[in-house]
Structure 1
Amino acid sequence: MKNRTLIRILVLMTVFIVATSFYYLPYYVTKPGSAHELDPIVEVKGGFDDKGEFMLTTVRMGKANIYAYLIASIKKYEYIYPVEEIRNPHESDEEYNLRQLQLMVNSQNHAIEVAYKAADKPFYYNYKGIYVLNVYPSMPAKDILKPGDRITAIDGQEFESSEEFIQYVGKKKKGDKVSIKFIRNDEEKTETIPLMEFPEMPGKTGLGISLSDDKEIVTDPEVSLNTDEIGGPSAGLMFSLEIYNQLTEDDLTKGHPIAGTGTITEDGEVGRIGGIEQKIIAADKAGAAYFLAPNDQISDEIKEKHPELESNYSAAKKTAEDIGTDMKVIPIKSFDEALKFLNSLPEK
């Protein structure tokens, strides 16, 4: 009898644990991810080999169930964020994931452009249209467009950038209608959409979408990046260094394992990213000797609102000291500054 009761209790506890593990709280949990060698990810046709390796670093993130939330609340370097700090207002999980993947595509384009400019190699862009990132729920486009659609023309006109598209729509008035040509799943469609004011922005008229340029960079020699499901723009700096290293004969790594992070602009400026502390831990576990960290500047205005905020480099250095790693953290503001440091490294 006692054994039966015990079995029932165990079964009920198991069912309870399984059931509650699928109940998600309105929070995300982030934790240290991993460091990925860039040699298998980036390939320049006919490119040069290196003796060491460049690595991009990632953060693991997922929606929090009660157990993940409790664990993260007591573990160092696991962080809890409310949903509204991760996703944009009205943004679904699908839209968030699409936005992250598109940010990665833009980051790759910037990295390729910076590397090919520095190596004095030719490239140009093929503009493909406007990539739809989000569709606002109370706006006219909600019933017609979907995240991932590519708009190729409006009122029969094609554009060379999303800025031109926004300027054209911005001249329209509430109630005006526009003809949108777009591609979904390789099928071309044309629909007419009326314009409305945004509920949160009275006086601003639009379709009700957030967007990004959808363009393809063409290079000589060819370059390909296989990023799978890695999203976001934070690998821009490391992509640019790996591409440049394969384009040029001298090996920037000098035989060292080098990790890092940071966004990159078309002009080669390195920008701030999230999860720097967790990326330091990932790089240390992967055996990196050096970590290139964005040396961003925080304005007085932002410091006044968020006095606890510190630069990526400062946070990275503190984390490295806290975990007792021998890995050296290097402050980087630009692609050129990264090259200068790497060129100063001794051969291993």
Structure 2
Amino acid sequence: MAFNNLLNLAHSKVALKPPLPPLPTRPFLSAPSRLSPLRLSLRSEPPPPQRVRSSASTPSDGAAPSPPSSREEAVAQARSCLSTALQKPLNNSVPLKKLKRQRQARFRAEIPVVDDSPGSLARLTFDVFTGAAGVKRKGAPARLILVWPSAEALAVALREFKNWGDSTTAHAQLGSVAQDSLSACDAAVFLAPGPSQVEKVKAAAAALDPRPVVLFNPAWSFDEEEGEGFDAGARGFVGSFNVVYSFTGLEVRGLLSKKRGVLLRCVEGGRFGGESWVLMVEDDAPAKQGEFKVVSRLKRRPTIGEVETMLYNLMAANSPVTKSARFLREMVSNVTGGKAKQ
């Protein structure tokens, strides 16, 4: 059954929501509002307490990273992943001028927020990248340039960063980055560019090559990225960024139950290709209430439609209605002496 049809059924609505409530002074995490066709919404009431272990350190082999239990933990996870990813290309012993033939290091991180206002973006960017996100080059903090998507976003960032006590970070507007600013930085961070700005990001990244670049909170969904909104060239360029951190809160509602989940990718230790996209849901075991368990590991990033199908299938397999029907089939099988067909 198509997803649009499912949305029309009162008992099978899907709403992707943050697993945690917003903090009082800062915007909290949520699935991005630009995915409105999937009826993403926010929840104001606090959810049950969660026992979630920290992912500040590299998980052991085979262990899945834990979803963040707070905004601060999500920021810490993203900082850790970005710091590890940037450390190697920024401290390569071979001079940059000799690396022209090597592939430019490109990283991507996503922490969706409650709203897409310039103030929220500035606050989140400050939290993640202040102090160069903990990255050092030759013993000193790396020189990052933050490239904002509009004049309004740039103006807000300059004002807010100064208010928060940071007057040293370099800022620029996408499409108007001065060459001397690019020459003075060790890496660039492109903040929330829109689909129509991909070519500008591509041009700026080429001017920075071979220095690393980061794409942070792009203003489009993965489904849009894979759809007709991007031509092959833009899709190939955006796809060249390694996703080091991405977090999306999910909730699927069925007839008699609802289940919260998380789609997470958290690359730590620089082991690109080793980490998978992890789909987690709340554990139903009474002793593990509020904890998350892994239900699927995927080598590539799934679309929202694929995630929704997996969650629906999981709920159907564990719903009381489905279990009752299965029990009746087994009972008939025992009476007739035949084997029930599943």
Could you state the TM-score of these two structures normalised by the residue count of structure 2?
0.28
Kindly indicate which of the two structures has a greater share of residues assigned to strand: 1
Give 1 or 2 for the bigger CA radius of gyration. 1
